[in-house]
A and B are shown apart, each in its own frame.
Chain A
């Protein structure tokens, strides 16, 4: 039987580790932090995966996603609090400043057109959007009102294949 108090403390530790370091803790680091053995930490990781608290790489104990944070590089880069995070998707690139309650500069690649866009989140608002070619600003889009995010699957199917979603 799972100790629920410890379970949620482990969830919080994984998220805090992401926020502090931009990457997830290994199961060994988590075991060490809570002074438990690796097998127990692994069981807790699997339980949190099953409860959709975060998501492991298939057949491993490596955290791939703790939404909005990504454990691997993506097209959605978020600069905040002096660090650079990767988000899982276009929604999560906004989720990182929302979760951290902080200003941010987001660099993202537009699908199909492959144009780079830089978005500035300032004081709880989208303050500016600039399309850029490399490091050279190409055009401004005011507050990004023209940018769109496509949700390919209805909510009922989001967890069928989270990587695709």
Chain B
């Protein structure tokens, strides 16, 4: 996942690399996702997460499009 200053730079990068445009989130959306995704990563109790738990994190982050489906 790469950082961009604007939509225009994303389009240029995709075109230059012959890639389809993916999903674009604001840095604040990704910060919200990060806090849910990584909150317990340093714990000895963290053993990964289930598909349902992953879907729940995406849902709480407001990420509900098909792009975020297929959790596994």
Contact = CB atoms under 8 A, between A and B. Distances in A.
Interface of A: 8-9, 11-12, 15-16, 19, 51-53, 67-68, 76, 89-95, 98-101, 108-113, 115, 117, 119, 121, 124-126, 129, 143-156, 165
Interface in B6-64: 6-7, 9-10, 12-13, 16, 19-28, 30-31, 33-35, 37-39, 41-44, 46-48, 58
A150 B10 contact: yes
Given A16-B42, A68-B38, A154 B67 contact: yes
A111 B24 contact: no
A11 B45 CA distance: 10
Listed residue (B13, B25, B34, B43) with the most chain A CB atoms within 10 angstroms of its CB: B34
Given A98-B38, A111-B4, 17 more contacts: A9-B44, A15-B42, A16-B42, A19-B42, A53-B48, A89-B1, A90-B30, A95-B37, A111-B2, A112-B13, A125-B31, A147-B5, A148-B24, A148-B27, A151-B24, A155-B67, A155-B70
B48 A98 contact: no
Interface of B: 1-7, 9-10, 12-13, 16, 19-28, 30-31, 33-35, 37-39, 41-44, 46-48, 58, 66-72
A149 B4 CA distance: 6
Contacts of A129: 27
Q: Is the interface of B mostly helix, strand, loop or mixed?
A: mixed
Given A147-B27, A152-B19, A155-B68, A108 B4 contact: no
B44 A151 contact: no
Q: Is the interface of A mostly helix, strand, loop or mixed?
A: mixed
Contacts of A121: 31
A142 B58 CA distance: 26
A112 B67 contact: no
